[in-house]
Amino acid sequence: MKFKKVISSLLSTLVLMIFIVLVAAVVLSKASGGEPAFFGYEIKTVLSGSMEPDIQTGSIVALKPGGDMNRFKAGDVITFMSEDNILITHRIVEATVNGTTGEAIYRTKGDNNDAADTAPVQSANVIAEYTGITVPYIGYAMNFAVSKAGSVLLMIVPGLLLLSYALYSSWKALMALEKKNAALPPAPPVSDSPQ
């Protein structure tokens, strides 16, 4: 029984810590005007189904920014800035090198698309490499979190959850104390007569 309580307590603490870290990351990135990032990996939301079934619409993906953007080859999945200033995550189907500049040029395609993208991608426009880590449906929540209404909720909801948890813990402690007091034998009556 004691083992179950320890495990339950550890799991509750772990879930609470993960929740706090996620909330803090979203709030801090929102305050700084950037994207959420964890341990050097950028977290982006996928808003189209072009990479399904591997990356579903509404998923979040972990991307590794930086490094030599000329290093990629066919089969790698990259995130790049399109000519319309939209971030796109697609697979490289062909990699060539510009003979005069030495810069890599990538032909990309979404796994779920019938044809390759019309515009080639210059290595200077590559933002990051897809790490293969994706979590379905969380992207919808992340998009909401960076909205004005979501930001307000992320300020209020954690406080309410912590307050609720504190009240619940206090109630459990009081119930345990009452149960313990009820189990004690009644005190003997006190007599006023001298002995």
Helices marked H in the chain — which ranges? 2-32, 138-145, 148-183
Q: Are 127 and 65 in contact (CB under 8 A)?
A: yes
Question: Pick the catalytic residue: 9, 12, 32, 48?
Answer: 48
- The CB density around residue 109, as the number of other CB atoms within 10 Å, is 17
Residue 108 belongs to what H/E stretch?
Answer: strand 104-109
Q: Which two tokens stand for residue 26?
A: 């979203």
> Is 48 considered catalytic here?
yes
Q: Is 180 helix (H, G, I), strand (E, B) or coil?
A: helix
Residue environment code for 130-152, b if the CB has 16+ CB neighbours within 10 A, otherwise e: beeebeeebbeebeebbeeebbe
Q: Which two tokens stand for residue 7?
A: 């495990």
Q: CA dihedral defined by 160, 162, 167, 169, rounded to 10 degrees?
A: 160
Separation of alpha carbons 54 and 74, rounded Å:
17
Q: Which two tokens stand for residue 39?
A: 């341990």
**Could you give the residue numbers annotated as active site?**
48
